[in-house]
Structure 1
Amino acid sequence: MEVIFILIAISLVMAGSFLLLFFKAMKSGQFEDNHTPAIRILFDSKPSKKSNKVKSTKSK
């Protein structure tokens, strides 16, 4: 029974620390860029050096 109280205390400390880290990230402005993720798919990536040709195989 004592182990459950220890686990609950540890989980509350961890949850509180994650909550504090989340608020710190919100305060520093990490989540304020709403425009770039929406248009990121529209940008072309650099073309690869490999050719994209498909080799044809002949079956005999």
Structure 2
Amino acid sequence: MEILAYLIPISLGLGGLGLAAFFWALKHGQFDDPKGDGARFLNDDWDDDPRP
């Protein structure tokens, strides 16, 4: 049971880190065009020389 004293703060820290990463991605516009991403994924016209 002593291990819970370590595991609970570690799990809360990892959860907070994941939440912070989600908000960072949200702030930097990673989720702005989900429909366009889906359409690009299904498109058969592959670009041989993709833009950087």
Alignment TM-score, normalising by the size of structure 2: 0.70
Give ranges in structure 2 of 5+ residues lacking alignment. Answer: 47-52
Report the count of equivalent residues: 45
**Structure 1: 4+ residue segments shifted above 6 A:** none
Alignment-mate amino acid for residue 32 of structure 1:
D
SS at structure 2 position matched to 1:35: helix
Distance 1:13 1:39 in 2: 36
Which has the bigger relative contact order, CA under 8 A and spacing at least 6?
A: 2
Distance 2:25 2:37 in 1: 18
Q: In the alignment, what sits opposite 1:53?
A: none
Q: In the alignment, what sits opposite 1:6?
A: 6
Over the matched positions of the two proteins, sequence identity in percent amounts to: 42
Give ranges in structure 1 of 5+ residues lacking alignment. Answer: 47-60
Distance 2:25 2:33 in 1: 13
| Deviation of 1:44 (Å) | 1.7
- CA-based RMSD of the aligned residues comes to 1.5
